[in-house]
Amino acid sequence: MTALLRRDPHVITAGVGLLADAVESQAARLTRVEWAPPMAGTEADLARVLADPRRAGANAQAVERVFAARAMLVDLMPAGRALGLRPGEFLHAGPPITWDRASGPLRGALMGAAVLEGLAETPEAAADAGARGELALDPCHHHRAVGPMAGVISPSMWVFVVEDEATGRKAFCSLNEGLGTVLRYGAYSPAVIGRLRWMSSVLGPLLAAAVRAHGPVDITAILAQMVQMGDEAHNRNRAGTLMLLRDLLPAAVESGFAAAQVADAARFVGGNDHFFLNLAMPACKLALDAARDIPGSTMVVAMARNGTDFGIQVSGTGEEWFTAPALVPEGLYLAGFGPADANPDIGDSAITETAGLGGFAMAGAPAIVRLVGGTAGDALASTRRMYEITLAEHPMFSLPALDFRGTPAGIDTVLVVRTRILPQINTGMAGKVAGTGQVGAGLVTPPPEVFPAALRALAGAAQPPQARPPGSR
Interface with its own copies (CB under 8 A): 228-230, 238-239, 242-243, 245-247, 249-251, 253-254, 259-260, 262-264, 266-267, 270, 366-367, 370, 375-377, 400-404
Nearer to its own copies, 228 or 419 (CB): 228
Which CB sits closer to its own copies, 74 or 266?
266
Of 212 and 370, which CB lies nearer to its own copies in the complex structure? 370
Query: Residues 317, 319, 320, CA angle at the centre, nearest 5°?
Result: 65
Nearer to its own copies, 238 or 285 (CB): 238
Q: How many CA atoms lie within 13 A of 245 on its CB side?
A: 20
What is the smallest separation between the CB atom of 252 and its own copies, expressed in angstroms? 8
Show Cβ contacts of residue 246 under 8 Å, excluding neighbours closer than 6 positions: none
Nearer to its own copies, 154 or 255 (CB): 255
d(Cα 271, Cα 241) in Å, to the nearest integer?
A: 9
Angstrom distance (rounded) from CA 131 to CA 353: 33
Q: Which is nearer to its own copies, 272 or 278 (CB)?
A: 272
Task: Give me the helices (H) in 215-276, please.
Answer: 219-227, 238-253, 259-270
CA 148 to chain centre: 9
> Which residues have a Cβ under 8 Å from the Cβ of 469 and sit 6 or more positions away?
none
Minimum Å gap between C-beta 370 and its own copies is: 7
Half-sphere exposure of 282 (CA within 13 A, CB side): 32
Please state, in angstroms and as integers, the Cα–Cα distance from residue 334 to each residue in 70, 148, 149, 403, following that order.
Answer: 37, 19, 17, 35
Per DSSP (E only), the strands in 111-219 are 136-139, 145-146, 158-164, 169-174, 217-218
Rounded to whole angstroms, what are the CA distances from 217 to 211, 251, 269, 287, 371?
7, 12, 16, 16, 30
Distance between CA atoms of 421 and 448, rounded to whole angstroms? 9
Give 51 or 367: the residue with its C-beta nearer to its own copies: 367
Q: What is the DSSP letter of 327?
A: P
Nearest distance from residue 251's CB to its own copies, in Å?
7
* Cβ-based nearer residue to its own copies, 222 or 290: 222
Report CA Rg, the chain.
Answer: 24
| Shortest distance, position 374 Cβ to its own copies, whole Å | 10
Smallest gap from Cβ 179 to its own copies, in A, equals 17
Nearest 5°: phi and psi at 442?
-170, -165
Supply the minimum distance, in Å, between the C-beta of residue 326 and its own copies: 30
Closest to its own copies by CB, 68 vs 371, is 371
Cα separation values, 83 from 31, 77, 79, 259, Å = 57, 10, 5, 31
Residues 263, 89: Cα–Cα separation, whole Å: 33
Q: Which is nearer to its own copies, 16 or 258 (CB)?
A: 258
Element (H, E) at 3: helix 2-6
Q: How far is the CB of 261 from its own copies (least distance, A)?
A: 9
Q: Return the closest-CA partner of residue 346 out of 416, 438, 282, 284.
A: 438
> Based on CB atoms, which residue is closest to its own copies, 35 or 404?
404
Return the closest-CA partner of residue 433 out of 186, 135, 147, 180: 186
- CB 225 to its own copies: min, Å: 8
Identity of the residue numbered 265: A
The least CB distance from residue 298 to its own copies, in Å, is 32
Q: Report how far residue 103's alpha carbon sits from residue 100's, in angstroms, rounded to the nearest whole number.
A: 9
Q: How far is the CB of 433 from its own copies (least distance, A)?
A: 34
**Residue 101 or 246 having the CB closest to its own copies:** 246
Distance in Å, CB of 77 to its own copies, minimum: 24
Beta bridge partners of 121: none
**Shortest CB 29 distance to its own copies, Å:** 20
